[in-house]
Amino acid sequence: MMSSAQSGARRKPPAQRRAEITGAAAEIALAEGLERITLRLVASRLDVRPGLISHYFPAVDDLIAAAFAEAVAGERARLLGPTGSPLGRLAHFTATVQDADARDLSRLWLNARHLSRFNDALAASLEAQEAIDRDELTALIAAGIATGDFAAQDPAAAAVRILIAVDGFGAYANDREVFEEPAFTSFVADVAEWALGLESGALAEASAATGPGRSRLTAPDHGDFDAGIAQTASARS
């Protein structure tokens, strides 16, 4: 003969609540890991009771899968989103992926790849995201072949190679002592150049012009050859 749901029960439209939940879960996934996504933690982030999370996601595995998809989709915009020449876009991609700021994302992929072993929903979600990455990168490469930026014949094969390289690089995201070796540091760019028939260093040069915030600070000294590529953040829409 007792109460329930009595006091503060701000009722929200289901779609919005659901979005809040996956959003909070995605944040947790990116910052702390997928296994930290727990009914109680997500609930506390939203100042809500754990049961509510179960209401939207009866099985926690599905929430984890959704959180992964959302987090990855959000990050993809930063990697492949910018416009510009195919070479410039690819240079931005490889540089960003290898930047220290991408560690959380690498960790998340690593996390998901492992957890897929025990979570079917996550496995499906992961393979879907893989496919999107592959398609977008393939399109980018195909465009670059059309413009003459790249010399590869098979865009899909090149995309696959580059993405595997990204995974290989990301596998070290949880290592304590960081690798300084250039063979490691620029592995993704090196593989990309190899896969696309570019000259060695082509991507590094292109990304020095376009470059992600941080690395511009360390190499602020050239002002001639970048003119052909540099318009990245401008040509939107």
Partner DNA sequence: ACCTTTATTGGTCATGGGACCAATAACATG
Partner DNA sequence: CATGTTATTGGTCCCATGACCAATAAAGGT
The least CB distance from residue 192 to a copy of itself, in Å, is 12
Per CB under 7 A, the segment of 10-18, 65-73, 101-109, 218-226 that binds DNA is 10-18
For residue 108, what are the contacts with CB-CB under 8 A and spacing of at least 6? 29, 30, 33, 34, 68, 71, 72
For residue 112, what are the contacts with CB-CB under 8 A and spacing of at least 6? 34, 68, 122, 125, 126
Q: Total residues at the site for a copy of itself (CB under 8 A)?
A: 46
- Residue 231 engages DNA in binding (rule: CB under 7 A): no
Task: Map residues 128-157 to x or -, x wherever contact with a copy of itself holds by CB under 8 A.
Answer: --x-----------------------x-xx
- Residue 182 engages a copy of itself in binding (rule: CB under 8 A): yes
How wide is the angle at C-alpha 30 spanned by C-alphas 51 and 193, nearest 5°? 150
Burial class (CB in 10 A: 0-12, 13-18, 19+), 41: middle
User: Which stretches of the chain bind a copy of itself, using CB under 8 A?
Assistant: 33, 107, 109-111, 113-118, 120, 123-124, 126-127, 130, 154, 156-158, 160-161, 164-177, 179, 181-184, 187, 190-191, 194
